[in-house]
A and B are shown apart, each in its own frame.
Chain A
Amino acid sequence: MDMQLILNLYRQLFLIRSVEQKIAKVYPSDVIKSPVHLSIGQEAISVGICDVLRREDIVFGTYRGHALYIAKGGNLNSMMAELYGKVDGCCRGKGGSMHLLDSSVNMMVTSAIVATSIPQAVGYAMSLKYSASDKVVVCFFGDGATNEGAFYESINFASLKKLPILFVCENNDYAIHSSVQSRSAQTELYKIAEANKIESYVIKDNDVFKIRSLAKNLIDEIRSGEGPRFLEVYTYRYLEHVGPNEDWDMNYRPSSEKDPWKQQDQVEVLGSKIPTDLKISIENDVKHEISSAFEFAENSLFPNQSELEKHIYG
């Protein structure tokens, strides 16, 4: 396999993992006075897919959006300042962790209301078709979103109008604490899209190379005008739904469930494929980037009171 590709993917995976770990570490000090939904365990999906996107391609995501923001090329300083509620944040502190967006890297909307960004992604794709653009939209959401009406309304319309969009369902099996099994009649979620005449695929092991390779084919097809595609990826959230801790003591999921996922942990797997000196060099570089970003966030100013009433109307 191409070593440069492994290095690139590893850098992104390690960066996201380490940022999330650092957030979890500082979180108890309450410098981030807002809910955080960490991506630890699920990094491979954002990394694998964004690696085959162009900068001008558009992504829509969810409240668990740190991985996507970083993978799409978002500025880490801006993200950390946003989490700290500072004026240099990508949303001037008015969005926070659950609402990261940055149109300069075409990360358009992330929402805390499950599934609400899906129809917007479809609408964006409609505008691309209208203007005969060859850009594509990728819409990320979780398994919980597939229970929402907006999801069904969106896949129907995207299929009906043959829009240039890739739907990516990050199936970590839990909507907060409730399993897919307990709330979905059709537990093979990609089949819901298939029933709406969208070519649909599933990857069951969170493997970043498989994700990247399949996504590349699907994006090429979408870009050439073949209409929407749907990709479900099984993945696993290592920490609690919201917050910095593990939650095995809650017993809504057995701790043994994590074992196969940890054995194929993508950060570990890719790290093991890289010569030690290169690996250390990447990790040092990433650690430096992260400590600069946290320092930037700490030193950035809180918004002035006059910001309260700014940006209500455009």
Chain B
Amino acid sequence: MDNNIRLLTYAEAIREAIFQEMQRDDSVLVMGQGVDDPKGTAGTTLDLHKHFGKERSFDVPLAEDGMLGVAIGAALAGLRPINVHIRLDFMLLCMNQLINMAAKNHYMSGGDSTVPLVLKGAIGRSWGQGSQHSQAFQSFFMHVPGLKVVAPTFASDAKGAMVAAIRDENPVVYIEHRMLFGMKEHTPKELYASEIGKARIVINGDDITLVGISHMVIESYRACKLLQLKGINAELIDPIWLSPLDIDSIIESVKKTNQLLVVDNGWQECGVAAEICMKVVEFFQGKKNIKVGRLGFANTPCPTTPVLEDHFYPNAASIASKVFEMIRPNEKLWKPKHEQAEEVANFKGPF
């Protein structure tokens, strides 16, 4: 094996991206609640202050809106701040700065100024995170012109996407997932930026196109393995970037499979899946008969008790079952046994 490629966790890959960018460029800085504490935001910002000083990686007051405003001001002055939130839910407190200011500064100034910043936060799940520590807002962010949105699933993509986000001239919302932090993938040591708006084909297949978002790529991957037992070969795509979205790669796949299921890691209503399905339908209508479907969170707040929480999320079995129903509508419904994903079952906080 190439020495330059090691197994790295998702969290380590994000930290390595930030670390290497901070080494390369003095204008990159990290600001957020607890970024310099002993936990270092699940490891993604761990000890950066020890290497780069308190001026470049620092704790901030509990003032999400104000602190994003500070990051925007710093970006206007030529710095490249990464504004870190432990959880995505707290980003709701800075929507004014994000949407009214960061997203439209370049446009309203007629191109006079830019706001190069990264707004990073994690979607939570499991072990009683409840309604306020589990929310996913990618569709909100995708709705707003001027923002870029990325939600990587695998460590190597997390690294390349973070580097690309830091170097981009626009506000980029970087969405992590708590269940992914410990997952390992072979990741290059060298510094690299991934192509913004480029999807990854995770599994090649001909029978159906399966698009997963964030952690749902992992559950969809497991669903693909179950489906293979039934002789069904799904093509699994991880868009990585949601805005801009690599719709061309999805359309290319559907040309081959004629079927599309999108599994969002978010509420289904007005969600990412609706947008992807609509774009695909618009492309094919009048040309070809295709079938589309979607899955997402139940249309409820996320319950805290584990029994209900388990029903709230799509899982490998429910995804496989849905695919089977789409591909073989005339056969009896197939419901593979649901086994809770190990990262979900093993997660024990403490937060």
Contacts and interface: CB of A to CB of B under 8 A. Distances in A.
**A joins B in a complex:** yes
Interface string A237-266: 000000000000000000000000000000
B134 interface: no
Contacts of B145: 312
Contact of B77 (A91, A95, A123): A123
A313 B146 contact: yes
B146 A123 contact: no
A275 interface: no
A43 interface: no
Given A91-B112, A120-B101, A127-B74, A312 B66 contact: no
A156 interface: yes
Given A101-B112, A313-B170, A113 B100 contact: yes
A219 to B, nearest CB: 18
Interface stretch (B103-111, B184-192, B337-345): B103-111
Contacts of B97: 116, 119, 150
The interface size bin for chain A is: 35 or more
B296 to A, nearest CB: 27
A312 B146 contact: yes
A91 B109 contact: yes
B96 to A, nearest CB: 6
B111 A313 contact: no
B61 to A, nearest CB: 6
A314 B76 CA distance: 12
A310 B106 CA distance: 10
Interface string A117-131: 111111111111010
Nearest to B244: A313
A117 B65 CA distance: 11
B114 interface: yes
A43 to B, nearest CB: 25
B55 interface: yes
Given A149-B66, A150-B69, A311-B111, A123 B76 contact: yes
A153 B148 contact: no
Residue of A93, A94, A113 most packed against chain B (CB within 10 A): A94
Contacts of A153: 61, 63, 65-67, 69
B261 interface: no
Given A91-B109, A312-B106, A127 B73 contact: yes
A126 B70 contact: yes
A144 B116 CA distance: 30
Interface stretch (A11-19, A102-110, A179-187, A204-212): A102-110
Nearest to A124: B73
A157 interface: yes
Nearest to A120: B73
A101 B113 contact: yes
Nearest to B58: A161
Interface in B62-113: 63, 65-79, 81, 96-97, 100-101, 105-113
A130 B79 contact: yes
A154 interface: yes
A102 B111 CA distance: 11
Given A116-B97, A313-B170, A124 B114 contact: no
A90 B112 contact: yes
B100 A91 contact: no
B85 to A, nearest CB: 15
Contacts of B106: 311-314
Nearest to A310: B111
Contacts of A108: 73, 76, 113
B60 interface: yes
Contacts of B115: 314
A123 B63 contact: no
A314 to B, nearest CB: 4
A102 B77 CA distance: 13
A200 interface: no
A311 B115 CA distance: 12
B110 A91 contact: yes
Contact of A160 (B61, B79, B100): B61
Contacts of A154: 66, 69-70
B169 interface: yes
B101 to A, nearest CB: 6
A91 B108 contact: yes
Contact of A119 (B65, B75, B81, B110): B65
A271 interface: no
Given A116-B96, A313-B106, A157 B146 contact: no
A287 interface: no
Contact of A126 (B74, B96, B107): B74
A157 B67 CA distance: 9
A121 B73 contact: yes
Contacts of A311: 106-107, 109-111
Given A123-B74, A313-B146, A111 B61 contact: no
Top 7 closest A-B pairs, CB basis? A123-B73, A119-B69, A153-B66, A92-B110, A127-B77, A314-B114, A153-B63
Given A101-B109, A102-B112, A103-B113, 4 more contacts: A122-B70, A126-B74, A130-B55, A157-B67
9 contacts: A92-B111, A109-B105, A116-B69, A122-B73, A123-B71, A130-B55, A157-B63, A313-B170, A314-B169
Interface of B: 29, 55, 60-61, 63, 65-79, 81, 96-97, 100-101, 105-116, 145-146, 148, 169-170
